[in-house]
């Protein structure tokens, strides 16, 4: 699959994904309105609702629907990432629900304090990440920053987690939109 083949049901790439690719490849800079459009698209993309993901050891042991998750179990990606980051790694406050975890990632795109960056990840193509300080989202083992990553190729989020390193993406092979404001 070539970069940018995040196809909707009609077979065409979404306008937001086209804008991400144009900005990522340096074809042009996005206007404030286009950035707003991209961020709205990313906010509502969510994890892929029809896919299943292996829990692996990073989510194993978490309780889902009344039973302990095993590393070879296949679950929806939102559940796997919730169990991995909010429950097992305790990056979110205790008692955070799946819905609250997902909503906290969605809200990143609307936060005026967020930064946005695009990058290529291995052979998976272009991704757009939205990050900000974790603040009230920081759990007992959380970190200073929280991020959601959206992959253009599939048109959905691929992860949402907290990390410690200051996201100064300049000079690290990432193509930052910086802290552009969608005003």
> Does the residue 2 lie in any domain?
no
> Does the residue 4 lie in any domain?
no
Give the model confidence (pLDDT) of 142-168 as tens digits: 999 999 999 999 999 999 999 987 666
Structural domains of the chain, count = 1
Q: Taking 80 as the threshold, does the pLDDT of residue 171 lie above it?
A: no
| Window from 101-105, 149-153, 171-175 with minimum mean pLDDT | 171-175
> Does the residue 1 lie in any domain?
no
pTM across the whole model = 0.86
Q: Taking 70 as the threshold, does the pLDDT of residue 179 lie above it?
A: no
Summarize the confidence of residues 58-80 as an average pLDDT.
96
> Does the residue 10 lie in any domain?
no
> Does the residue 55 lie in any domain?
yes
pLDDT tier for residue 15 given thresholds of 50, 70 and 90: very high
Percentage of the chain modeled with pLDDT above 90: 75
Q: Which residue in 156, 168, 97 sits closest to 131, CA to CA?
A: 168
What are the distances in angstroms from CA 165 to CA 56, 156, 174?
A: 25, 24, 15
> Does the residue 25 lie in any domain?
yes
Q: What is the pLDDT of residue 107?
A: 97
CB 95, CB 65: distance < 8 Å: no
Name the residue range of residue 104's domain: 15-178
> Does the residue 183 lie in any domain?
no
> Does the residue 33 lie in any domain?
yes
């Amino acid at each position: 699959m070539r970069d940018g083949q995040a196809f909707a049901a009609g077979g065409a790439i979404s306008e937001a994904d086209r804008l991400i690719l144009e900005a990522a490849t340096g074809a042009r800079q996005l206007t404030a309105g286009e950035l707003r459009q991209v961020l709205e698209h990313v906010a509502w993309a969510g994890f892929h609702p029809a896919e299943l993901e292996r829990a692996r050891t990073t989510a194993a042991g978490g309780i889902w629907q009344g039973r302990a998750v095993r590393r070879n179990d296949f679950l929806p990606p939102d559940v796997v990432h919730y169990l991995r980051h909010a429950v097992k790694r305790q990056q979110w406050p205790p008692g955070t629900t799946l819905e609250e975890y997902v909503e906290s990632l969605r809200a990143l795109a609307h936060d005026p304090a967020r930064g946005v960056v695009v990058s290529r990840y291995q052979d998976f193509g272009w991704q757009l990440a939205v990050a900000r300080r974790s603040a009230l989202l920081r759990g007992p083992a959380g970190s200073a920053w929280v991020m959601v990553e959206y992959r253009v190729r599939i048109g959905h989020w691929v992860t949402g987690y907290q990390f410690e390193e200051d996201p100064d993406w300049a000079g690290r092979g990432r193509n930052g939109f910086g802290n552009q404001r969608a005003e």
